[in-house]
């Protein structure tokens, strides 16, 4: 985890090489390899053959570490300061940019997903918690704390009477999955899981293993484990259950311990999701270092940009869009989080105060056109999800926008129910699984593993097996609810396949999700006002559209029961 760190001069990289699986499809494998001292890591796109690209890269002074031929991408190391200029001039090369530049962490550096947890001041001012809602006779022990599952009908009395996700494979492209967690262990497919990242000590903190390449069954951040529990926490008489409690989870780690998602790792994970035959993938992140990726200087309305920065943004656009299209064409339903910037994504312009966010402290405020894309979420094949609180109101932090957000789902909202005893209570957030070691490191649990406050829960069974859970909020929590329902839809309506479970075209899945969602009208007056929740007026959200489809909720709030039972 983050702490006081020294700068190292040797960089290690996870190498992703393409091979052929027994079924004849390209497979992405992870190996370990170190780049030479002082080398930089680059991503190069190419339009010709891998052999031709390799020759061009070598002639420009680079060493090819791996090739992902499916989307024309190479990971390259080079110690030549002129490498980028040289390689871009070569034939068959589409673009090139640094994958990430080293930036040193500092004491007190905020957690990447800090906005998904109420601040210390808010936590201290919160109430004692929302009362449990009654769980049915077959509910999991902590089901009373899962208002989100009740809201969307993902319960034993609801959708799970018909579908539980059995036979459906869901990829979690995130910071990892703690496969030892008792609520996740039954559902994680270790064989197909991969870690595409290498810990960067200057940013991620000290490496946990000598190679700095963590096993594919750990999560040293916590975010991915929380997302995984929402999708498919097991129905095993322990803790919680997810939306699709019998779905198979495949850990496709593209996020660093620090929460950064760099280009090569993101694209490699998307390609592997496609080639390993996954049905659904959830994407609760954006590709660093740019919140919005532009393709031209004309899209900058305020702020400055260098030629090198534009080249990097164009490369992100090209490769991520290609990887998403590749996955969609191979039958993967992709679900993304709209973002936590409380912005109208349908407005002509977008304000960005965080980019570039890596290295740390390099951000320069800018205003850009809405043609600059948040990726992968704004790729056309990704189902974009906004977040609602337990009252079904759009959460104040959630991005929105008519024609951009396609569906809404529970994401939690600490400030929901203003003016009532339920205002600012932990139970307004989303409870899900969390790695115990991360909870201890973050101060959520003491050294004995006990929660330090009501924002986390420990559950132990009579045999003394314990699991840790915490409350978070964000569109990161909303997207996995939709991914879980997508898994239920595929189980219920998919066609049998020879080698694995049911399969269903992503377009059909999207239509079922949209057609079964709970319609949600715009607020009276057409504006969701958050000033009572002590937010400034620029957080207010104008709701464009109708009850059937609008910018705050898209087609409506996802409904698991209606999606599988036709109600």
Question: Which residues 6+ apart lie within 8 Å of 462 measured at CB?
Answer: none
Q: Do 152 and 42 lie in a common domain?
A: no
In a domain, 8, yes or no: no
Q: Do 207 and 88 lie in a common domain?
A: no
3-state secondary structure of 470: strand
Q: What is the DSSP string of 425-469?
A: -GGGSEEEE--HHHHHHTTSB-TTS-BSSTTEEEEE-TTS-EEEE
Cα distance between residue 216 and residue 120, in whole Å: 32
In a domain, 357, yes or no: yes
Q: Do 385 and 360 lie in a common domain?
A: yes
Read off the CATH number of the domain in which 92 is found.
3.30.70
Q: What is the dihedral angle through the alpha carbons of 66, 30, 204, 63, rounded to the nearest 10 degrees?
A: -20
Report whether 496 contacts 502 (CB < 8 A): yes
In this prediction, residue 361 carries a pLDDT of: 84
In this prediction, residue 176 carries a pLDDT of: 98
Q: Which two tokens stand for residue 446?
A: 């003491």
In a domain, 472, yes or no: yes
Q: Which two tokens stand for residue 344?
A: 């109208």
Question: Which residues 6+ apart lie within 8 Å of 280 measured at CB?
Answer: 168, 169, 170, 171, 332, 333, 334, 335, 483, 486, 487, 490, 509
Q: Which residues of the chain register pLDDT less than 70?
A: 1-38, 104-112, 124-137, 498-499, 567
Cα distance between residue 294 and residue 309, in whole Å: 9
Q: Do 94 and 58 lie in a common domain?
A: yes
Q: Please give the DSSP secondary-structure letter assigned to residue 375.
A: T
Q: Do 372 and 227 lie in a common domain?
A: yes
Give me the number of domains the chain comprises: 2
Question: Which residues 6+ apart lie within 8 Å of 85 measured at CB?
Answer: none
In a domain, 50, yes or no: yes
Question: Which residues 6+ apart lie within 8 Å of 488 measured at CB?
Answer: 154, 159, 162, 163, 164, 165, 168, 243, 244, 560, 563, 564
Q: Do 55 and 124 lie in a common domain?
A: no
Q: What is the DSSP string of 181-209?
A: STTTGGGB-TTT-EE-----HHHH-S-SS
Residues in the chain: 567
Read off the CATH number of the domain in which 292 is found.
3.40.50.200
In this prediction, residue 27 carries a pLDDT of: 37
Q: Do 283 and 377 lie in a common domain?
A: yes
Cβ-in-10-Å burial (0-12, 13-18, 19+) of 348 comes to exposed
Q: Do 292 and 416 lie in a common domain?
A: yes
Q: Do 78 and 140 lie in a common domain?
A: no
Q: Where are the beta strands (DSSP E) in 196-323?
A: 248-253, 280-283, 300-302
In a domain, 79, yes or no: yes
How many CB atoms are closer than 10 A to CB 523?
A: 15
Q: Which two tokens stand for residue 127?
A: 């109430």
How many CB atoms are closer than 10 A to CB 545?
A: 18
Summarize pLDDT for 190-205 with one digit per residue, the tens.
Answer: 999 999 999 999 889 9
Cα distance between residue 479 and residue 337, in whole Å: 5
This model's pTM is above 0.85: yes
Number of helices (H) and strands (E) in the chain: give both, helices first.
Answer: 12, 21
Say how far residue 484 (Cα) sits from the centre of its chain: 14
In a domain, 108, yes or no: no
For every residue of 485-536, which 3-state class applies, written as one string?
A: HHHHHHHHHCECCCCCCCECCHHHHHHHHHHHCECCCCCHHHEECCHHHCCC
Q: Do 438 and 497 lie in a common domain?
A: yes
Q: Which two tokens stand for residue 121?
A: 């001041």
In this prediction, residue 450 carries a pLDDT of: 97
In a domain, 230, yes or no: yes
How many CB atoms are closer than 10 A to CB 466?
A: 15
Report whether 202 contacts 102 (CB < 8 A): yes
Give the end of a domain, one of 98, 123, 152. Answer: 98
In a domain, 29, yes or no: no
In this prediction, residue 499 carries a pLDDT of: 65
Q: Please give the DSSP secondary-structure letter assigned to residue 293.
A: B
In this prediction, residue 213 carries a pLDDT of: 96
| Residue 359 preceded by cis peptide, ω within 30 | yes
Report whether 261 contacts 236 (CB < 8 A): no
Q: Do 132 and 87 lie in a common domain?
A: no
Range of the domain at 40: 35-98
Question: Which residues 6+ apart lie within 8 Å of 285 measured at CB?
Answer: 173, 174, 254, 255, 259, 261, 337, 476
Q: Do 385 and 525 lie in a common domain?
A: yes
């Amino acid at each position: 985890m983050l702490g006081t760190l020294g700068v190292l001069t040797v960089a290690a990289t996870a190498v992703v090489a393409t091979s052929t699986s027994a079924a004849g499809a390209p497979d992405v494998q992870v190996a370990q390899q170190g780049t030479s001292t002082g080398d930089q890591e680059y991503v190069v796109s190419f339009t010709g053959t891998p052999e031709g690209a390799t020759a061009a890269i070598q002639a420009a002074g680079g060493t090819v570490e791996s090739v992902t031929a499916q989307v024309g991408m190479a990971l390259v190391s080079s110690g030549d300061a002129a490498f980028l200029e040289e390689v871009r001039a070569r034939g068959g090369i589409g673009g090139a940019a640094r994958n990430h530049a080293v930036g040193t962490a500092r004491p007190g550096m905020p957690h990447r997903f800090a906005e998904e947890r109420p601040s210390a001041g808010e936590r201290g001012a919160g109430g004692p918690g929302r009362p449990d809602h009654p769980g049915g006779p077959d509910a999991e022990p902590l089901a009373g704390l899962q208002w989100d599952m009740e809201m969307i009908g993902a319960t034993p009395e609801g959708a799970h009477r018909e579908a539980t996700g059995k036979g459906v494979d869901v990829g979690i492209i995130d910071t990892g999955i703690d496969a030892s967690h008792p609520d996740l262990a039954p559902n994680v497919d270790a064989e197909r899981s991969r870690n595409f990242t290498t810990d960067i000590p200057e940013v991620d903190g000290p490496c946990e293993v000598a190679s700095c390449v963590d096993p594919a069954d750990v999560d040293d951040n916590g975010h991915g484990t929380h997302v995984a529990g929402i999708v498919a926490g097991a129905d095993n008489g322990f803790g919680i259950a997810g939306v699709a409690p019998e779905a198979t989870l495949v850990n496709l780690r593209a996020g660093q311990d620090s929460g950064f998602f760099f280009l090569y790792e993101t694209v490699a994970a998307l390609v592997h999701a496609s080639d390993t035959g996954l049905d659904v993938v959830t994407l609760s992140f954006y590709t660093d270092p740019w919140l919005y990726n532009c393709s031209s200087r004309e899209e900058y309305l305020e702020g400055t940009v260098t030629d090198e920065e534009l080249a990097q943004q164009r490369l992100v656009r090209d490769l991520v869009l290609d990887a998403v299209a590749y996955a969609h064409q191979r039958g993967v339903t992709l679900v993304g989080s709209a973002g936590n910037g409380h912005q109208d994504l349908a407005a002509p312009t977008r304000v960005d105060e965080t980019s570039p966010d890596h290295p740390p402290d390099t951000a320069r405020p800018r205003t850009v056109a809405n043609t600059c894309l948040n990726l992968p979420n704004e790729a056309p094949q990704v189902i974009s999800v906004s977040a609602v609180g337990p009252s079904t109101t759009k959460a104040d932090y959630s991005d929105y926008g008519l024609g951009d957000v396609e569906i809404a789902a529970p994401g939690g909202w600490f400030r929901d129910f203003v003016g009532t005893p339920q205002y600012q209570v932990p139970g307004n957030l989303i409870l899900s699984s969390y790695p115990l070691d991360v909870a201890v490191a973050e101060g959520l649990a003491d050294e004995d593993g006990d929660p330090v406050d009501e924002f986390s829960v420990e559950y132990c069974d009579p045999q003394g097996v314990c699991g840790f859970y915490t409350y978070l909020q964000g569109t990161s929590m909303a997207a996995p609810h939709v991914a879980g329902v997508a898994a239920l839809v595929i189980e219920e309506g998919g066609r049998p396949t020879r080698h694995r479970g049911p399969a269903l075209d992503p377009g059909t899945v999207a239509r079922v999700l949209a057609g079964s969602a709970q319609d949600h009208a715009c607020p009276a007056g057409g504006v969701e006002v958050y000033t009572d929740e002590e937010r400034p007026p620029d957080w207010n959200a104008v709701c464009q559209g109708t009850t059937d489809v609008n910018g705050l909720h898209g087609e409506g709030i996802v409904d698991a029961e209606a999606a599988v039972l036709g109600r």
